[in-house]
């Protein structure tokens, strides 16, 4: 039997077998000697001990395609960063940090903006245009109005996708719709603070349909700029690419240098001002880190 580990709790692994459901398994297999610890997302072979009681034993961990540390998950195909267009307002600087983090791990990353029922067309167009050069697909959905859910399901098809985003943007609400049941606990936002209630605490892979899984993660509120330094940060901004070679100095980091083609493109509206300001903010932050 082959299956996928969807959850690990206290030495037990929960393995989903296509068409049969989830089996509680111990891991007494030979791989114990190989110093490999089973991870959520691992594809495994297992023997069924009790078909009705749904227990089993993991025999072997199949070779991993990839391994992600935070959150811990094997065989992740992609990340979907979820933000809301309102309540809470998007923190685009945080969004860029997520994108940089995922790209530094070589995980393909796209963006889903939820709560599009709360914003007008102009606001949505602005966001779409700001991220049109980022290399990420940008989707707009509403969990409340159940809009865009079919498109999301198509997007996720046959992949294992990790979902990340700040607290309160509606990650769990969307996942409940995608899985067609109330699995994830959702929280209401306090009107005063506009902050979510941090309802998601552990990581678990949820089965959507054949070979299609999604992982909810607890909301992040801040994140270090992983994977980038002052020399490499610019490469995470794909929209700079057509201009980079045209700067007067080939060492240009597009901050204060004269004759900078990137800055010129920003002032002419060919590169999003918001994205450039994020770049410049993160650059200065990294520069200060280096000084320590």
Ligand X SMILES: Nc1nc2c(ncn2[C@@H]2O[C@H](COP(=O)(O)OP(=O)(O)OP(=O)(O)O)[C@@H](O)[C@H]2O)c(=O)[nH]1
- Rule CB under 6 A: which residues touch ligand X? 114-115, 117-118, 142-144, 167-173, 186-189, 196-200, 218-219
Q: Give yes or no for residue 172 binding Mg ion (CB under 5 A).
A: yes
Tell me which of ligand X, Zn ion, Mg ion, none is bound by residue 134, counting a contact when its beta carbon lies within the kind-specific cut-off of 5 to 8 angstroms: none
Contact 186, 199 (CB under 8 A): yes
Contact 216, 205 (CB under 8 A): no
Q: Least distance to Mg ion from the beta carbon of 162, Å?
A: 14
Q: Least distance to ligand X from the beta carbon of 216, Å?
A: 7
Q: Say what the alpha-carbon torsion angle 191, 195, 198, 199 is, to the nearest 10 degrees.
A: 30
Binding residues with Zn ion: total (CB under 5 A): 5
Q: Which one of residues 262, 265, 266, 282 is an interface residue with Zn ion (CB under 5 A)?
A: 262
Q: Least distance to ligand X from the beta carbon of 142, Å?
A: 4
What is the separation of C-alpha 56 from the centre of its chain, rounded to a whole number of angstroms?
31
Q: Least distance to Zn ion from the beta carbon of 252, Å?
A: 3
Q: Least distance to ligand X from the beta carbon of 239, Å?
A: 28
Q: Which one of residues 200, 203, 217, 278 is an interface residue with Mg ion (CB under 5 A)?
A: 200
Give the dihedral sign, CA 189/190/194/196.
negative
Distance CA 192, CA 279 (A): 31
Neighbours of 13 (CB within 10 A): 24
Tell me which of Zn ion, Mg ion, ligand X, none is bound by residue 262, counting a contact when its beta carbon lies within the kind-specific cut-off of 5 to 8 angstroms: Zn ion
Burial 209-223 (b: 16+ CB within 10 A, else e): eeebbbbbbebeeee
User: If you ran DSSP here, which 8-state letter would residue 147 be given?
Assistant: B
Tell me which of Mg ion, ligand X, Zn ion, none is bound by residue 247, counting a contact when its beta carbon lies within the kind-specific cut-off of 5 to 8 angstroms: Zn ion
Site residues for Mg ion per CB under 5 A: 171-172, 199-200
> Where does this chain bind Zn ion (CB under 5 A)?
247, 252, 254, 260, 262
């Amino acid at each position: 039997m082959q299956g996928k580990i969807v959850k690990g709790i206290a030495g037990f692994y929960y393995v989903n077998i296509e068409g049969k459901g989830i089996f509680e398994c111990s891991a007494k297999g030979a791989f114990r000697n190989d110093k490999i610890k089973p991870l959520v997302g691992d594809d495994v072979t297992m023997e069924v001990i009790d078909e009705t009681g749904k227990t089993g034993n993991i025999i072997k961990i199949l070779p991993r395609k990839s391994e992600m540390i935070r959150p811990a998950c094997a065989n992740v195909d992609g990340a979907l960063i979820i933000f809301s267009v309102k309540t809470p307002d998007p923190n685009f600087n945080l969004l860029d940090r997520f994108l940089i983090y995922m790209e530094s791990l070589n995980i393909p990353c796209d963006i889903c903006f939820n709560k599009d029922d709360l914003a007008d067309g102009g606001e949505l167009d602005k966001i779409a245009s700001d991220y049109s050069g980022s290399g990420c697909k940008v989707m707009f959905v509403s969990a409340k109005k159940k809009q865009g859910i079919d498109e999301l399901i198509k997007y996720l098809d046959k992949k294992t996708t990790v979902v990340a985003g700040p607290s309160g943007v509606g990650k769990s609400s969307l996942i409940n719709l995608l899985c067609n049941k109330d699995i994830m606990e959702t929280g209401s936002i306090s009107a005063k603070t506009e902050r979510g209630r941090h309802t998601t605490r552990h990581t678990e892979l949820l089965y959507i349909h054949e070979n299609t899984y999604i992982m909810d993660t607890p909301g992040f509120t801040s994140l270090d700029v992983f994977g980038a330094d002052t020399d490499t940060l610019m490469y995470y901004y794909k929209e700079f690419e057509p201009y980079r070679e045209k700067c007067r100095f080939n060492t240009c980091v597009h901050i204060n240098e004269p004759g900078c083609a990137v800055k010129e493109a920003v002032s002419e509206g060919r590169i999003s001002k918001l994205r450039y300001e994020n770049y410049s903010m993160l650059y200065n932050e990294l520069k200060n880190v280096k000084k320590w």
